[in-house]
């Protein structure tokens, strides 16, 4: 006799990195469990959900090996390819298996169910005891014996005794099957005139039935909302053969309005791009392309046709966008072209919604997956193409563990599936262009706008001049004129500022101090609330009220410095009280659907001015926008990030691209105190090549990506000495390792913000050429330090291929 043993990945953070645990399968489950299914197992004194990694046969097992309690899924929820991908994530990004699996299948380890008692050997247990003796099980937590406690101590002891004696057994019922939610549809089974006749007959005695029939005569079918039509209304109609009821799986995604424009004829450049991409898709092996298309060049149309080609060959395609919520128009266009063949994955989905979409992809019902970063893990079985739109966006890199870059994962998956990858952008990242220079990717260009409109005229406004002429307003005279002219002529304007809140900090004119967060080493941001001005920490959420009285010296000399979006809103209200203004930033778009509503309102002309942070820079297509004003370009240039110039150029280009897209010529004004800066100059001239030349040479000179890769180790702990000690230990370990010849280590130092939420943060930055030369040693040292740090109550992270320091 042999035993079936499963290796299970369990999520018990902090205790181990990638260990797997052996469990034996009870005979009843021996043949049904496969890798990629989830099981519930006893772990220490709790129940835990885990993912089956491997199944093996053993002639004998130790008596100490514990038994799998229950199987969660009927079919694997993770494919073989996804399990291999998880392994790769661990090697590439120093992730743990639970982290990797949770990234691939969010909520993988959160399984709920019930633990029940069952009579095992004919003992006569009263029914009410059996029925009420249930434990709620939430994996992650201890099984509580709450229900038993309710029975009273005596009953509980009796039950425990029976369990001990083997009269009763505990049985787990878990309920986490991947299945689509079904919705009932009512469909007419007779012609409309017949329905209307039947409705007329019922008008007096059954008005609800009549109403339903009239509705169906019009629409043919409708989703059955129980609130609208009770069963007693529907059933007689079904019995009479007028109506049928069908259960169908539905997608719970609320589709944005359909875009009903027909597919346009391709421009010359689009046609040329298509030809290149078609060739690419048909070639064997891994193929990559970078589509560099100016804003409004019609990249979306090219994506849609390329995808149509791929699904026409019976394969599946994945389209990654920076954030689904920010791209409602794009999703709408895809939905109107491809209908139900689309599945949408994004972070705002509920568990149930995600399961539905996941199941549709697994079953092959959806052949196009659209989603943000994590959609790169979608369980497509026959991957033909991955498109990464706006590939330059930082959101493709996950900030938390596993710190993966979706662009790299896309390449990895495409490699495994012999699929193609397309990276699209109006401002390709240095990383993407490097792929082209290295011969790994083909460059495809779309140099003109698809509708023949010119790119907007961009003017740089020197704010130093404004001060000289005594203009202390946020808006230069030029911007004021253009804003006035634009709105008065019935067109729209966008004002961009990459900072939310009212003011970024405070400064006392008497003593020079500002108000700091008591928990973080950072200035508090000023916000305007209904209750008056507030000071808020953007890092830990701390808040206090604002007054001009300096907490340090007591003088009434505290002033707000550094403008934010709220201040722009206030300034417009003061200058032009009749302008209709929308403000779009993190603070105004927290509620579900708020952002979509704002986009729709602005699109429909229900506002004159849209004020926004980088949220508004991405892919939005507003035909009536004439003016774009960048209120302060310098805020981006001075960010402590090696990509500050690149981000500035990208954001300026993207946001300028919102102007003059369809109904009018566009004007963009960039206000700055550093008009001579090359990133600003190049953005104003729409000169990608010039920007790239300068930025590339700086990166090469100072050795920054893409001329090396960075990894950032960060230790945090309430005690500064412990945090610093961990960073120094990590550095020491690495200096002793063989990897040192392949890398440069920047010594342990406080991170950009030394303290957040009362945790001190110390970092070590590594620069190296190829991860495979150093990865092994780096991970080794990292684990050592991390395990020690976990015991000390702190935490460590290692961001491999870091995009910021
Ligand atoms: P991008 O994504 O490159 O910024 P879009 O795909 O949003 O550009 O296209 C910009 C606008 O041009 C959209 O309104 C789109 O409908 C339109 N468009 C795209 N292709 C064509 C075409 N071949 N002819 C006319 N209009 C087009
Ligand atoms: Zn704080």
* Residue-level pLDDT at 69: 78
| CA-to-CA separations, 558 to 94, 259, 510, 514, in angstroms, rounded | 46, 51, 8, 8
- What's the CATH fold of domain 268-446? Rossmann fold (3.40.50)
Decide: 270 in ligand 1 pocket, CB within 6 A: yes
Residues 6+ apart with CB under 8 A from 129: 117, 151, 155, 159
Q: Ligand 1, atom 4: nearest CA belongs to which residue?
A: 296
Q: How many CA atoms lie within 13 A of 517 on its CB side?
A: 25
Q: Is 537 labeled as ligand-binding? A: yes
Distance, C-alpha 788 to centroid of its chain = 32
Decide: 296 in ligand 1 pocket, CB within 6 A: yes
Q: Tokens at residue 196, please?
A: 């209307």
CA 544 to ligand 2 centroid distance, Å:
11
All structural domains of the chain with their residue ranges: 5-110, 113-176, 182-249, 268-446, 457-499+563-700, 709-799
Q: Is-cis flag, bond preceding 402, omega within 30?
A: yes
> What H or E segment, with its residue span, contains residue 101?
helix 97-104
* Residue-level pLDDT at 138: 32
Residues 6+ apart with CB under 8 A from 591: none
Q: What is the mean pLDDT of residues 667-674?
A: 96
Counting ligand 1 atoms within 8 A of each CB, the residue from 267, 290, 296 with the most, and so the one to mutate, is: 296
Give me the interface pTM, i.e. the ipTM.
0.97
CA 270 to ligand 1 centroid distance, Å:
10
- Name the pLDDT band for 667 (thresholds 50, 70, 90): very high
Residues 6+ apart with CB under 8 A from 90: 18, 96, 97, 100, 402
Q: What percent of the chain has pLDDT over 90?
A: 57
Nearest residue to 450 (alpha-carbon basis) of 308, 331, 301: 301
Secondary structure (H, E, C), 471-536:
CCCCCCHHHHHHHHHHHHCCCEEEEECCCCCCEEEEEECCCCCCCECCCCCCECEEEEECCEEEEE
Q: Which ligand is located closest to the Cα atom of residue 264?
A: 1
Architecture of the domain spanning 5-110: 3-Layer(aba) Sandwich (3.40)
Q: Is the pLDDT of residue 14 over 80?
A: no
Decide: 251 in ligand 1 pocket, CB within 6 A: no
- Name the pLDDT band for 141 (thresholds 50, 70, 90): very low
Q: Ligand 1, atom 14: nearest CA belongs to which residue?
A: 621
Task: Say if residues 652 and 658 touch (Cβ distance below 8 Å).
Answer: no
pLDDT, one tens digit per residue, over 694-715 is 999 999 999 999 999 999 999 9
Q: Tokens at residue 755, please?
A: 């303290």
pLDDT, one tens digit per residue, over 367-398 is 999 999 999 999 998 999 999 999 999 999 99
**At which residue do the structure tokens 């280009």 appear?**
653
- What's the CATH fold of domain 709-799? Alpha-Beta Plaits (3.30.70)
CA 273 to ligand 1 centroid distance, Å:
14
Decide: 102 in ligand 1 pocket, CB within 6 A: no
**At which residue do the structure tokens 């099984």 appear?**
143
Q: Is the pLDDT of residue 788 over 70?
A: yes
- Name the pLDDT band for 154 (thresholds 50, 70, 90): low
What is the atom index within ligand 1 of the atom nearest the CA of 295? 4
**How far is residue 739's CA from residue 418's CA, in Å, rounded to a whole number?**
33
Q: CB count, 10 Å around CB of 232?
A: 10
Q: Is 549 labeled as ligand-binding? A: no
Q: What is the mean pLDDT of residues 757-785?
A: 96
Q: Which ligand is located closest to the Cα atom of residue 517?
A: 2
- Name the pLDDT band for 134 (thresholds 50, 70, 90): very low
Alpha helices by DSSP H, 604-687: 634-637, 644-656, 678-684
Decide: 293 in ligand 1 pocket, CB within 6 A: yes
Average pLDDT, the chain: 87
**How far is residue 799's CA from residue 206's CA, in Å, rounded to a whole number?**
67
Q: How far apart are the two ends of the chain, measured CA to CA in Å?
A: 57
* Residue-level pLDDT at 149: 42
* Residue-level pLDDT at 661: 82
* Residue-level pLDDT at 427: 95
Q: Which ligand is located closest to the Cα atom of residue 537?
A: 2
**How far is residue 351's CA from residue 110's CA, in Å, rounded to a whole number?**
10
pLDDT, one tens digit per residue, over 415-450 is 999 999 999 999 999 999 999 999 999 999 999 999
- Least confident residue range of 243-247, 406-410, 490-494: 243-247
Counting ligand 1 atoms within 8 A of each CB, the residue from 265, 272, 298, 663 with the most, and so the one to mutate, is: 298
Decide: 621 in ligand 1 pocket, CB within 6 A: yes
Q: Ligand 1, atom 2: nearest CA belongs to which residue?
A: 299
CA 673 to ligand 2 centroid distance, Å:
30
Q: Which ligand is located closest to the Cα atom of residue 757?
A: 2
**How far is residue 789's CA from residue 705's CA, in Å, rounded to a whole number?**
30
CA 671 to ligand 2 centroid distance, Å:
31
Architecture of the domain spanning 457-499+563-700: 3-Layer(aba) Sandwich (3.40)
Q: Do 457-499+563-700 and 268-446 have the same topology in CATH?
A: yes
Decide: 299 in ligand 1 pocket, CB within 6 A: yes
User: DSSP 3-state assignment of 420?
Assistant: strand
pLDDT, one tens digit per residue, over 522-580 is 999 999 888 889 999 989 889 999 988 898 898 999 988 889 999 999 999 999 999 99
Q: Is 440 labeled as ligand-binding? A: no
**At which residue do the structure tokens 């609330």 appear?**
529
What is the atom index within ligand 1 of the atom nearest the CA of 446? 3
Q: Ligand 1, atom 16: nearest CA belongs to which residue?
A: 298
Decide: 267 in ligand 1 pocket, CB within 6 A: yes
Decide: 337 in ligand 1 pocket, CB within 6 A: no
Residue with the larger pLDDT of the pair 352 and 360: 360
CA 208 to ligand 2 centroid distance, Å:
58
CA 726 to ligand 2 centroid distance, Å:
23
**How far is residue 455's CA from residue 448's CA, in Å, rounded to a whole number?**
8
What is the atom index within ligand 1 of the atom nearest the CA of 299? 3
Q: Ligand 1, atom 20: nearest CA belongs to which residue?
A: 298
Q: What is the mean pLDDT of residues 392-415?
A: 94
Q: Is 550 labeled as ligand-binding? A: yes
């Amino acid at each position: 006799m042999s035993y079936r043993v499963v290796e299970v990945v369990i999520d018990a953070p902090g205790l181990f990195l990638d260990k797997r645990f052996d469990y034996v399968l009870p005979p009843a489950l021996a043949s049904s469990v496969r890798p990629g299914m989830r099981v519930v197992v006893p772990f220490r004194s709790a129940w835990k959900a885990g993912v089956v990694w491997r199944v093996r046969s053993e002639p004998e097992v130790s008596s100490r090996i514990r038994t799998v309690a229950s199987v969660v899924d009927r079919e694997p929820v993770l494919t073989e390819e996804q399990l291999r991908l998880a392994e790769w994530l661990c090697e590439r990004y120093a992730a743990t298996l639970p982290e990797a699996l949770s990234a691939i299948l969010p909520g993988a380890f959160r399984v709920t169910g019930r633990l029940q008692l069952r009579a095992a050997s004919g003992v006569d247990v009263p029914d009410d005891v059996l029925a009420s003796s249930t434990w709620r099980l939430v994996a992650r937590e201890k099984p509580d014996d709450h229900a038993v406690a309710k029975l009273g101590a005596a009953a509980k002891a009796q039950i425990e005794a029976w369990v001990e004696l083997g009269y009763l057994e505990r049985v787990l019922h878990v309920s986490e099957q991947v299945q689509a939610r079904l919705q009932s549809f009512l469909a007419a089974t007779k012609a409309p005139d017949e329905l209307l006749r039947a409705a007329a007959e019922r008008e007096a005695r059954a008005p609800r039935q009549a109403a339903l029939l009239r509705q169906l005569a019009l629409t043919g079918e409708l989703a059955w909302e129980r609130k609208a039509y009770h069963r007693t209304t529907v059933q007689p109609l079904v019995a009479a053969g007028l109506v049928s009821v069908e259960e169908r799986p539905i997608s719970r995604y609320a589709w944005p309005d359909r875009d009903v424009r027909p597919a346009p004829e391709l421009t010359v450049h689009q046609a040329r791009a298509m030809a290149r991409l078609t060739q690419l898709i048909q070639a064997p092996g891994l193929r990559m392309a970078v589509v560099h298309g100016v804003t409004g060049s019609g990249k979306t149309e090219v994506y849609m046709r390329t995808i149509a080609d791929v699904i026409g060959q019976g394969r599946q395609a994945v389209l990654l966008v920076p954030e689904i919520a920010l791209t409602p128009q794009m999703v709408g266009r895809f939905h109107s072209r491809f209908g139900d063949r689309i599945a949408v994955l994004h972070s705002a989905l509920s568990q149930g919604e995600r399961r539905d979409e996941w199941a549709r992809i697994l079953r092959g019902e959806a052949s196009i997956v659209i989603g943000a970063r994590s959609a790169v893990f979608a369980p497509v079985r026959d991957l033909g193409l991955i498109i990464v739109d706006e590939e330059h966006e930082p959101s493709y890199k996950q900030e938390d563990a596993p710190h993966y870059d979706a662009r790299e994962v896309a390449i990895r998956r495409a490699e495994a599936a012999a699929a193609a990858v397309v990276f699209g952008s109006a401002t390709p990242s240095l990383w993407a262009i490097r792929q082209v220079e290295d011969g790994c990717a083909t460059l495809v260009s779309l140099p003109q706008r698809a509708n023949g409109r010119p790119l907007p005229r961009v003017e740089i406004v020197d704010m130093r001049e404004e001060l000289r002429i005594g203009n202390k307003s946020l808006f230069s005279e030029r911007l004021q004129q253009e804003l006035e002219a634009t709105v008065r002529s019935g067109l729209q304007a966008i004002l961009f500022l990459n900072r939310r809140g009212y003011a970024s900090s405070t400064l006392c004119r008497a003593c020079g101090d500002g108000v700091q967060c008591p928990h973080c080493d950072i200035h508090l941001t000023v916000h305007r609330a209904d209750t008056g001005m507030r000071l808020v920490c953007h890092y830990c959420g701390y808040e206090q009220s604002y007054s001009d009285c300096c907490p340090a010296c007591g003088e009434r000399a505290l002033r707000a410095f550094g403008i934010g979006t709220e201040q722009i809103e206030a300034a417009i209200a003061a200058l032009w009280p009749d302008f209709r203004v929308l403000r779009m930033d993190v603070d105004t778009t927290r509620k579900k659907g708020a952002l979509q509503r704002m986009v729709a309102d602005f699109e429909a002309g229900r506002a004159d001015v849209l004020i926004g942070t980088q949220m508004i820079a991405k892919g939005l297509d507003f035909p009536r926008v004439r003016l774009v004003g960048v209120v302060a370009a310098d805020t981006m240039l001075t960010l402590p990030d090696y990509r500050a110039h690149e981000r500035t150029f990208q954001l300026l280009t993207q946001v300028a691209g919102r102007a003059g897209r369809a109904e009018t010529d566009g004007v963009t004004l960039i206000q700055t105190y550093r008009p001579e800066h090359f990133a600003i100059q190049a953005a104003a001239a729409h000169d990608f090549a010039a920007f790239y030349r300068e930025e590339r040479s700086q990166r090469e000179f100072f050795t920054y990506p893409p001329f090396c890769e960075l990894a950032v180790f960060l230790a945090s702990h309430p005690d500064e000495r412990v945090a610093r000690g961990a960073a120094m230990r990590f550095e020491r370990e690495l200096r002793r390792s063989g990897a040192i010849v392949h890398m440069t280590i920047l010594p342990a130092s406080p991170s950009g913000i030394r303290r957040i939420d009362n945790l001190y943060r110390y970092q070590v930055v590594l620069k190296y050429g190829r991860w495979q030369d150093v990865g092994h040693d780096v991970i080794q040292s990292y684990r050592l330090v991390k395990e020690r740090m976990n015991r000390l109550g702190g935490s460590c992270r290692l961001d491999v291929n870091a995009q910021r320091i």
